[in-house]
Structure formats: structure tokens, C-alpha cells
Structure 1
């Protein structure tokens, strides 16, 4: 069965447009491994909160967590009492389907993929570098609004 040239001409742009749409071909979720390092050694049992503009996830390292992808950055806040703390920001990177979508759908699919996060990925392994805990002799940090000289 052969399609008429007019039918082929009408179907071809639609098929090309759908082929580049990350929202249709990729998941809006991603599984990442979170691990923490303190003084060049992996440290286990650190509580971390991962969050972006579409959700918040809690994990105790090392562990895998499934999060929702976004075009925005992923923020990671970790702490282990008596050991240390960390605060990092990881930017999402556009994947190849997003750029193909921009070219093939004249930009329409790009905006859909940007809003759903399907065209973006975070690194598969998130290694968080911890800062050592402060000595108890130093005391707590100053109150908000206090200027130190």
C-alpha cells in the first residue's frame, strides 16, 4: 500500500516533529546516585535534601533517588551532626533531543520540553563535597543582621 504524494507530504512534517520531541520520547524523571565526600573520603549516613523548582527529595547517602527533571538548577543541602555540611548547586544540561526539537518543530516543542524538564538531565552521579563541622569552641554563627568587624 502506497500513500499518495499529498498524504506523504502532510504526514512527513508531523512525524519529524514528533521524533524530536523529548516530552514524547523521554521521561520527566531521572534516577541519580548521591554520594558524599569529606576530606577525600566517602562518608556514609549523611542526610541530604535535593530540591529544584518542581519538587523536594530526601536521601541518606550513599543512595539512589528518583527525582523530577527541570530546566532549573538542582540544589543539594547535606548535613551530618559532628561531621560536616554541604550546599551545592548543579545546573541541568540540555540533551540532544532538546536541540533537535528546537530545529524540527520551529521552537514549539522546545518550550514544551523546557516546561516539563524532559529535554534536560542532571549528572547521573552527584558527588557532594562536605565541609568539616565547626569546633564547638568557636561558638554559633552570629545572628542575622549582625555585622562583624
Structure 2
């Protein structure tokens, strides 16, 4: 019983997601033509509030976790640019903080970004701008990209 109490206290002080998750996670980036043909080797730039990294399409990058969305642009000479936004969502570590009553841990993990995860497999389409939401992820399959919602004009 004492061990359980000590474990719960430790998790609430240090943050469950910080203990459970690295500051990065893998994201597979693929590119397709509008007809659905895979195009490997395109130059892709992934950026969020922690900086930018480059990866060739078809490869898996280690992306920095963040509560902020990630912008992605893939380019190749043969196709118009492929653009995307990857939506970050809270992961199990954040919920662990809430369940164990780790308010301090939740704040720490939110600020460090370790409580969040991007989609782990996306397929951008050249000539399109898509949104990939982590909430739509199904294990073993790429997340389906959606057209961005139109922004309402300010009155």
C-alpha cells in the first residue's frame, strides 16, 4: 500500500507523460500524386513551435511533441507542393495525470509538450492542402487527410 501511495505521489509531482513519453515520437510521412501513386524522396519540412526538421517522403521522422499543431510542406520538381497541418492531441500521459490528481504534472507535461502526440502516419497529396487529426488515427493505417474548414469572414 505504501508503494502505491509513493508511486501516485511521484507521478503527481513529476508528470505522468514526462515519465511515460519521450519529447519526440515517430511520424511516417508519405506523398502521393492526385491519382494516388506513391512518390518517394520528396523534400518535406515539418515545423511546430519547437522548430523545423526535414525528411524525405517515405521515411519516418522523430518529431518534437507539442500542444501546437504542426505545419508540413513537401516539394518535388515534378508536382505542385503538398501542404498539411497535423493536429496534436492529448495522449494517455495527460489522462494519467488527471486520473492520479497530478495537477502539477499536467501543467509540466503540457508546457513540455510530452502530453501530446501528432498522427503517426500521414499521406500528403501533391497540389492539395490537407488536415490530419490525431483523433482520427486507426492503428496500422495512415490517418485520412481532410480539406481544411473554411474560415468565416469577420464582420
TM-score category by the smaller chain? 0.7 to 0.9
**The 10-residue stretch of structure 1 (27-36 or 8-17) with the greater mean CA deviation from structure 2:** 8-17
Task: Classify the secondary structure of the residue corresponding to 1:100.
Answer: helix
Q: 1:41 to 1:107 in 2, by over 3 A?
A: same
The CA deviation string for residues 28-78 of structure 1, in whole angstroms up to 9 with x for no partner, is: 111111100112111122111001001211011111111211111011011
The correspondence for 2:57, drawn from 50, 57, 61, is 61
- Quick check: which has more Rg, 1 or 2? 1
Task: Report the TM-score when normalising by structure 2.
Answer: 0.71
Q: Which runs of 4+ in 1 moved over 6 A?
A: 7-10
- Alignment partner, residue 144 of structure 2: none
Asked if structure 1 preserves the Cα contact closer than 8 Å seen for 2:18 and 2:115, the reply is: yes
Extract unaligned runs of 5+ from structure 2: 129-155
- Alignment partner, residue 17 of structure 1: 12
Task: Report the TM-score when normalising by structure 1.
Answer: 0.74
Q: Distance in 1 between matches of 2:64 and 2:80?
A: 27
| 1:87 aligned onto 2:83 | yes
The correspondence for 2:69, drawn from 36, 61, 73, is 73
Asked if structure 1 preserves the Cα contact closer than 8 Å seen for 2:13 and 2:104, the reply is: no
- Alignment partner, residue 136 of structure 2: none
Extract unaligned runs of 5+ from structure 1: 133-149
Question: What value does the CA root-mean-square deviation take over the aligned residues?
Answer: 2.5
Asked if structure 1 preserves the Cα contact closer than 8 Å seen for 2:80 and 2:127, the reply is: yes
| 1:45 aligned onto 2:38 | no
| 1:120 aligned onto 2:120 | no
- Alignment partner, residue 28 of structure 1: 23
Q: CA deviation at 1:8?
A: 7.2
- Aligned residue pairs total 127
Asked if structure 2 preserves the Cα contact closer than 8 Å seen for 1:35 and 1:128, the reply is: yes
